[in-house]
Amino acid sequence: MCGIVGIAGPPGRDPARHAAVRRMAASLAHRGPDGADDADRDGCALAFRRLAIVDLEAPAPPFPDETGTIWSVCNGEIYNGDALRAELAARGHRFRTAVDTEVIPHLYEEFGSGLVERLDGMFALAVWDEPRQQLLLARDRAGEKPLFYRVESGTLAFASELRAFLELPGARPKVDPVALARYLLHDYFPAPLTPLAGVRKLPAGQLLTWRSGEASLRRYWDLAGWFGRGEMISAREVAAEVDARIGLAVRRRKRGDVPVGVFLSGGLDSATVLAHLAEQEGPGVPAFALGHCDPAFDEARFARATAACYGAEFHELILGESDLEEGLRRVAAGFDEPLGDASTVPTLLLALFARQRVKVVLSGEGADELFGGYPTYAADRLAEGWRRLPGPLRRGALRGLGALLPVRMGNNGIDYLLARFAEGAEHDRVERHHCWFGSFAPARLARLVSPAVRAALAGDAPFAAAHAALAGKRLPDGLSQLLYTDFTMYLADDLLTKVDRATMLASLEARAPFLDHELAEFVAGLPSCLKVRGATGKWILREAGRRRLPPEVLARRKRGFTIPFSRWLLHGLGDRLKLRFAPERVQARGLFDPAAVSALLDAHLARRADHKKALFTLLALDLWCDRVFGEGAAVPLASPPGRDTAAPAASDAERGVA
């Protein structure tokens, strides 16, 4: 993992362009504390920050080909780098290092843009073809590594994080109102949107080609094409194949010249990763877990028992309220885009804790989206039956249950889950799924935003990104639609964003075996009945783990990796939020209606409702606004797409319109 930046523009060498690239790279020093270098080429400047994992003494990229006319930078790891190196060496290519990403400019020589299909790994890469004056950008299949870009005035700038774009000459950041609305609905920014107007996120599995001031996009991989393609074999054979493929994915992700550990929760996914790694490496695998002083949120006891089963070297970090305060401060200072996911706080603290002992960790991201692990998948079936009941009966039942159940402010208790179910149950399958995952359903969002934002959103379709993700996809059933949606949106733009930013702030590399693309393709092809059975999610993954996992791990239900934010608000944090969201401050910021924000916070503090998700989403955004625009400062809004002549208009695809 590293940080990459670059600017391509008119031919020739440009000292101002070179200086800007160096400033951009310096802003990403946390992503690569082990080295830095840059290259000022004809028509393009590239720069790199290195976190050394393989060939620790090697120089930092950019790497050229033998002719010195093809240059590349890459953030990530290429797991088949050794095999590609051997193949290229047999064709006459020469290498200076053992670094896996040095294969990229040589692959480009041989295969052009087709090089991406040959890569097995997590990556965000750039290749500058000097003779053709052409820039190639590409992002890995699942979106583990980030890549942002801006096309303006005949130049293209790219970077691993948004903060780098603030270093460009004359940077005057504005917020994209459409992106803001998507964030409030989803708690994250669905690709290609970002909070900064004019800056786009390259979607996972896509490739961008820039030449003569024009950019074009091509999708080179799509999980949708694999659903329903599996062969008809017995469940026992499927379980054995899943187990073997996970073992292979773990083996591939051990590659490196530094120690490798595991992020371990009390659940099925990380326990599966640990079981395979321990089988391959033997006792003593470093395992890192979080506990909470609040027993309702503490999973350390489960993780400790799992680690003991495999002789892992167990390390636990117990969090109290003061630790969460420090974690929130670090998130506010370090995350370069708002993310309405409270688990960012413990994830960052765990990454900092693990970095004291290892430089690489394996994690369980991707299992829920591939195997069907979220309770919302079972809830979807319930909602389909619920919607067949008469409307007055549905509304009366929900009001009655809501009045009987006290607001517990706990870890997703029945009162909270019922409220979430009610908010989304009346929508169609795709829309209610996003209502359940996000914070502000359209009706609530319309009441929340300021008149200026509301005017900018006139005619906007709130669920445009959600429907666009499925447009033109031939998926076999409703569960497949939800799995695909979560893989391409929630996983890529929330979970993997969280893990990347948190681990990179700690200069730690995280690798996700479940996102091995061959494993993902195989699992996507399995019938839905092997993924969710009744209320049991990840059924086939549990079957695959029966030989190697303790029964209590196989039986454990899905728990969110989060913090006691609801209760924390009732203590000291709530008073500080009352100051942060004071009506005059909200009014000055210009994004929201002060009365609507006050009503949310007051209802929570009075224990009338649990608004933890909504309040964290607003808090994350406001902290980011402080850092980018100034403490409590007004936020400049970009004109709606097509009306702002200072920035390129967003296409329908960029806005999430099918």
Q: Where are the beta strands (DSSP E) in 222-312?
A: 260-263, 286-292
| Single-letter residue type at 622 | D
- The SS3 assignment for 566 reads helix
Q: What are residue 107's phi and psi, to 5 degrees? A: -60, -40
Sequence length of the chain is 658
In 335-413, alpha helices (H): 344-355, 367-371, 375-386, 391-404
Active site residue 2: yes
| Single-letter residue type at 39 | A
Kindly write down the DSSP assignment for every residue of 201-242, as one continuous string. EPPTTEEEEEETTEEEEEE---GGGGTT------HHHHHHHH
Cα distance between residue 537 and residue 373, in whole Å: 5
Tell me 197's DSSP state. T
| Single-letter residue type at 526 | L
Residues facing 216 on adjacent strands:
209
Residue among 2, 74, 435, 625 flagged as catalytic? 2
Query: Which region, left, alpha or beta, applies to residue 264 given φ > 0 means left and ψ of -120 to 50 means alpha?
Result: beta
Whether the bond between 451 and the residue before it is cis, its omega within 30 degrees of 0, is no
Strands 260-263 and 360-362: parallel
b/e map of 458-472 (b: 16 or more CB within 10 Å)? eebbbbbbbbbbbee
Q: What are residue 200's phi and psi, to 5 degrees? A: -120, 155
Residues acting as catalytic residues: 2
